[in-house]
Amino acid sequence: MNTLLALYQEMGWGLSLLVLATFLLAGTVKGVIGLGLPTVSMGLLGLAMAPAQAAALLIVPSTFTNIWQLMLGGHLRGLAVRLWPMLLAIFVGTGIGSLWLGIDGGKWVVHALGGALVLYSLSGLFLPVLRVPARHEAWLGPLCGVATGIITAATGVFVIPAVPYLQALGLNRDELVQALGLSFSVSTLALALGLLWHGELGGGELGASLLLLVPALLGMQLGQWLRQRISAVMFKRVFFTGLALLGAHLLING
C-alpha cells in the first residue's frame, strides 16, 4: 500500500486531487466518444508536471481501457491482419523516438505536447472525412505508424496521425472502435517500454498509475451514461475546442 501511495505523498494533496479529477474527466470523454483518455490526461497534467511523469501515470488506465475496447466487436483477428504493418511501425517509431528524443522533461517537450494537441484538435474540427484507397495502405500505414510512434515518444500523445488514418480506412463503427483500441494498446506498450528505458517508470509510478484505474473507469461509466443524453457531435466540438485552447496555452507558455 505504501508503494501505491508513495508518489501521491510526494505530490501533495493539491496535485493528487488534480490527477484524480483529470482521469475522471479523461475517462468521461473516452466513455462518450471512444477515445481521448491519454490525450486529455497528458494535456491537463502537462500544466502541472513534467510530461514524463504524466505519461507514466497514464500507463495502467490507458492499457486496461484500451484492451477492454479492442476485445469488443468480434473483428480483432481481421483488423490485426490488416493493420499489423502500421502497428509494427508504431512500435519501431516509438523505439526510435525514445532513443532519439524521449520525454526528458525539457521545456521543448511541453511545447511539443501543446503542438500535438493543437494539431489533433484542428484535424478533429476541420479535417474532412478522407478515404485511403486499399492500394495505398501498404506504404501509408507504416508511414503513419512511424510518425505516430515518434510523436508518442516525444509527447505521450498517440493520436496523430494514427486516428485520422484509421478513420480514413472506411471501417464501420464497431471496427473503428476496435481498431483504435488496438492502435492505442500498442502505443501504450511501446511508450511504457520507452519510459522504462529512460528510468521514468518504476514501482512507484506503476503503483500510482494502478490507483488511477478507479477514476478512469468511473469516468467511462459516466461518459457512457452521458452519451445517451447529449449530442455526440456537439460534445466533440466542445471537446476539440477546449483541447485546442489547452494545446495553444502549452505551445505558447509551456
Mean pLDDT of 84-105: 84
The DSSP-derived string for 47-112 is TTS-HHHHHHHHHHHHHHHHHHHHTSSS-HHHHHHHHHHHHHHHHHHHHHHHHHT-----HHHHHH
Reported as a single tens digit per residue, the pLDDT across 176-189 is 889 998 999 999 99
Per domain, the residue ranges of the chain are: 2-253
- Say what the pLDDT of residue 104 is: 61
Q: How confident is the model at residue 230 (pLDDT cuts 50, 70, 90)?
A: confident
pLDDT digits (tens, 9 = 90+) for 3-42: 566 667 777 788 889 999 999 999 998 888 877 888 889 8
